[in-house]
Structure 1
Amino acid sequence: MDALPLYRQLAAHYQHVIDTGTLSPGSRMPSLRALMDRHDVSLSTALQSCRHLERYGYLEARPRSGYFVRQPHKPACEPVAEPIARLAEPAQYVGIHERVSAVIAQGRLHPVKFNLAVAVAAPELYPVEALKQAAIRALRHDPTVLTSAAVPNGSAAFRAVLAQRALSARIAVSRDEIIVTHGCIEALNLALRAVAQPGDVIAVESPSYYGLLQILESLGMKALEIPASAQTGISIEALELAAQTYRNIKAVVVVPNFQNPLGAVMPDASKARLVEWCEAQAIPLIEDDTYSLLSNDDTPLSACKAWDKTGNVLYCASLHKTLAPGMRLGWLIAGKWQARVEMLKHAQSRANEVLPQLAAADFMGSSAYDRHLRRLRLALRDQREQMAEAVATYFPAGTRLTVPQGGLCLWIEMPGRASSGRLFEQAMLAGIGIAPGVMFSNSDRFDAFFRISCGQRYTRELNTAMRTLGRLAAEP
């Protein structure tokens, strides 16, 4: 058996220290700097160890105060089992659109009161009034913005703010290297079209966001599903094994921070290793970094792009989850494919509307954006914990769940041979929407899984819906 990662070894040491009472509940955990000096580890390792202990209830993070010991508790649900680093299944693409379309069609036939299938926060968690005022200021400053031609590649002001904000993810980029898109979906479309052709094989995480699988099918490309862990993301070992069998992999697509649907965060060492491997294999790496700002705390997460020295990483992101779903603002840093992506963007959809970009630039350029993100993170953290507690309370014994440290979703595994397709149909009749596992793969491997969103405030009515969902999951 392989040795535990260094951060897990360090976490196990302090778990023993807490279990034996050397560090009692309420006492302060050694600072990250102290852990680095005492154990000769990196900041990343120290931080991952504390987050691991926090995930399992041994520590709690207090704003601007560090980590403190809390009363240890047994996880409410056993974590989702780790995947085996096996050979990927043959690349395919036929069928996912029909699966997703069938789920969406049923949703339209049966209006739901609680739509837990959509990975987005409730409208009231976004800064509605502040964005309205920002748009008004933009119109006052330039009344002709709605009647003037849109700017190629996007507003200079918006791209400048994006370049400044990218520093928190350790990305050094100029505004001229950023191309504004219609959400992250268009960014992914452009990135794939820039590096691959119909019939090409694209390596993706498994399970994978169904929207990406739909894109691949629409482009005539083949998805090669690589096992991914709810703890550490894509298995690089399995990817390396797949590359020895499939010599025609043209790109790798990953969501390294709070992967959809697993909620996994790749360790920095794995991000660096993946970037280095893709560069050595001359395989473009397409990164979807939509969720990284939705962590439990204000500690920035690094992007894979941070380790890119040659422009081999195409970085895609959006404001759809963090600021304003209605704006449909995304962007792409295309690296060595900049010129090709600019051409494809012009041919596919032309430039984005300028007014939303100006409003977003106004708001994101101020400290109000940072305050909004803190409020959103706290709200989502509370909602994730409440939803996870509801799953542990109402769902049948043996239900498995790895609670992520950020993002918008929970990925739940039902015990036995339970079918999420059957649960989806029964839940729809009860006015509850979920995303069944068959949407997240071209195979039936995840039929016992489903994804729910934690974007809604946890009300008494939502608690009743979760109780109903748990009862339906327990039915034979």
Structure 2
Amino acid sequence: MPTPLYQRLAAHYRDAVAAGSLTPGARFPSVRSLMAQHEVSLTTALQVCRVLEQEGLLEARPRSGYFVCHPAGRPALRLNEPEARPLDPAAYVGMHARVSEFIARGRQQPVKVNFSGARGAPELYPAEALRQAAGRALREDPELFVRAGPVAGEPVFREVLAKRALASGMVIAPEEIVVTQGCIEALNLALRAVTQPGDIVAVESPTFYGLMQVLESLSLRVLEIPTSPQTGISLEALELAVHHGSKIAALVVVPYLQNPLGSVMPAVNQARLVNFCAEQGIALIEDDTYSALLDEDVPQRALKALDRTGGVIHCASLHKVLAPGLRLGWMTAGRWQARVEMLKYAQSRHNDGLPQYAAAAVMGSSQYDRHLRRLRATLNLQRRQVSDALLRAFPVGTRFNTPPGGLSLWVELPDRRDARALFAAALAEGILIAPGVMFSNVERYATCLRLNCGNPFTPEVAAAVQRLGELCLTRCRPGAVGSGAAGSAA
């Protein structure tokens, strides 16, 4: 008796998973695609998916389709959506001391494997191309080191940035761009331009600890808005906060590969957010540090592209995508442009010219696009390797995201185990992680940690992940974090 067609097709895709043609975390062909590609009925296509799902090779995600499961005998558990709970009131941040303590402890002890950052290894970046470009710039302009440059940035660099911005839907003149010391200075300038001490600034929760430090330094109050690991900031919670009287001066969001969650805001949410902020008079500050690291080789539309009132300040960085050592960022500030330019002059004057010339030469050529494709492919592989190692090493019930790009994974430990205990135990053995309490002013993320995947997955890195799993089992007591403190990972 011949083997049923759906079983033959299931075997075909089973072999594809085993061979690595379909990698863990990858989207499986849709039912419609299976019907068209193999000329089969809806019933047959569904049977193929159900067989592979029963075998643990596929997992169904609501409204998203089927995805290839990770190995290690159990599927990866997705992070939960944020719990529906009343928002904590806006508060002065008060977490600089906590962040500084973790950073200082990491520097006081020798570190063999560092998972705490969010950057790639040096070999991932075009060092030779940048070196050659810098040499040409100095030969062509010998006075580059001894001549002060324009405060807003070198014209040749701003022209390249404006041209590149077209792919993200932004039509901006080079004169509307201010070059900054990375994205952190851009965020600092944006916040200083639109707020006064004591104002409320809404942020995603969890969020990048560097942003919280900036907010604290500016004496601003922070309102943390629950954020989904899949779709980004909760627009419902933001709207509810405004309608219940929170006078929000500014909102800072990372639409693509949010740090630390790795979420991507759907297009419909982006449009709704831009419109809402315009209606409410809220300055919308867009942190576009990671969009170029999305696996999909298609430029993503910036929130700034939807701006019709000048109410969106776009901040970007080349720190993660071109060269961590250059500390280059840029911004365009809409109706606050003149104020940002004056604040830049008052705060730090002009950036060094040589890095701008080198970056302009590389970014203005096709080699930059080739570099980005290689970088994305390498990071995709390294994230999958770390994910697989996590599944093998960490306790059952561990949850983590599978972001569609980027440098890191956000992990939630099971059974309310305290990631601070894991931080201390791992650091004693030369392994550095970033505990979740660094990313929020509240205690909801005490069971979480962020792991960098930007370094090659060497035997040393594999052994460090294995050891983290062992320490989680032996040194992190179940129930150490109260249910009211950590809550569900967002």
1:122-271 → structure 2 map (5 Å cutoff): 122-271=121-270
With 130-139 and 78-87 compared, the bigger mean Cα shift is at 78-87
Amino acid at match of 2:398: T
1:25-44 → structure 2 map (5 Å cutoff): 25=13
Larger Rg: 2
Instruction: State the match for 1:6 in structure 2.
Output: none
Change (3 A) 1:72 1:91: closer
Matched, 1:455 2:472: no
Change (3 A) 1:301 1:379: same
Change (3 A) 1:20 1:272: farther
Instruction: State the match for 2:371 in structure 1.
Output: 372
Write the distance in 1 (CA, Å) between the matches of 2:70 and 2:57: 6
Write the distance in 1 (CA, Å) between the matches of 2:76 and 2:29: 27
- How much has 1:304 moved relative to structure 2? 1.1
Report the number of matched residues: 430
Quick check: 1:86–1:238 contact (8 Å CA) kept in 2? no
- How much has 1:73 moved relative to structure 2? 6.5
Quick check: 1:93–1:442 contact (8 Å CA) kept in 2? no
TM-score calculated relative to the size of structure 1: 0.86
- How much has 1:209 moved relative to structure 2? 0.5
Write the distance in 1 (CA, Å) between the matches of 2:423 and 2:253: 27
Write the distance in 2 (CA, Å) between the matches of 1:178 and 1:23: 54
Write the distance in 1 (CA, Å) between the matches of 2:343 and 2:8: 61
Instruction: State the match for 1:92 in structure 2.
Output: 91
Instruction: State the match for 1:441 in structure 2.
Output: 440
Matched, 1:427 2:426: yes
2:292 counterpart SS class: coil
Instruction: State the match for 2:114 in structure 1.
Output: 115
Write the distance in 2 (CA, Å) between the matches of 1:115 and 1:300: 31
Amino acid at match of 2:338: A
Instruction: State the match for 2:334 in structure 1.
Output: 335
1:48-63 → structure 2 map (5 Å cutoff): none
Write the distance in 1 (CA, Å) between the matches of 2:300 and 2:131: 29
- How much has 1:76 moved relative to structure 2? 3.1
Matched, 1:288 2:275: no
Quick check: 2:263–2:403 contact (8 Å CA) kept in 1? yes
- How much has 1:255 moved relative to structure 2? 0.4
- How much has 1:282 moved relative to structure 2? 0.7
Amino acid at match of 2:442: S
Q: Deviations over 1:92-121 (max 9, x none)?
A: 234210110110111111121111101000
Write the distance in 2 (CA, Å) between the matches of 1:85 and 1:348: 41
Amino acid at match of 1:124: E
Quick check: 2:93–2:222 contact (8 Å CA) kept in 1? no
- How much has 1:252 moved relative to structure 2? 0.6
Instruction: State the match for 2:487 in structure 1.
Output: none
Matched, 1:469 2:468: yes
Amino acid at match of 1:209: F
Write the distance in 2 (CA, Å) between the matches of 1:474 and 1:398: 12
List alignment gaps of at least 5 residues for structure 1.
1-17, 36-52, 60-68
Quick check: 2:177–2:331 contact (8 Å CA) kept in 1? yes
1:351 counterpart SS class: coil
Change (3 A) 1:123 1:72: closer
- How much has 1:20 moved relative to structure 2? 11
Amino acid at match of 1:404: P
Change (3 A) 1:434 1:28: closer
Change (3 A) 1:466 1:244: same
Matched, 1:81 2:55: no
Write the distance in 1 (CA, Å) between the matches of 2:207 and 2:11: 40
Quick check: 1:203–1:224 contact (8 Å CA) kept in 2? yes
1:271-286 → structure 2 map (5 Å cutoff): 271-286=270-285
> Over the residues paired in the alignment, what is the CA RMSD in angstroms?
2.4
Amino acid at match of 2:121: A
With 211-220 and 245-254 compared, the bigger mean Cα shift is at 245-254
- How much has 1:19 moved relative to structure 2? 10
Matched, 1:298 2:297: yes
Q: Deviations over 1:437-461 (max 9, x none)?
A: 1101101110000001000000111
Quick check: 1:76–1:389 contact (8 Å CA) kept in 2? no
Write the distance in 2 (CA, Å) between the matches of 1:433 and 1:327: 24
1:326 counterpart SS class: coil
Quick check: 1:189–1:215 contact (8 Å CA) kept in 2? yes
Write the distance in 2 (CA, Å) between the matches of 1:358 and 1:404: 33
1:325 counterpart SS class: coil
Instruction: State the match for 2:488 in structure 1.
Output: none
Quick check: 1:85–1:235 contact (8 Å CA) kept in 2? no
1:145 counterpart SS class: coil
- How much has 1:22 moved relative to structure 2? 9.3
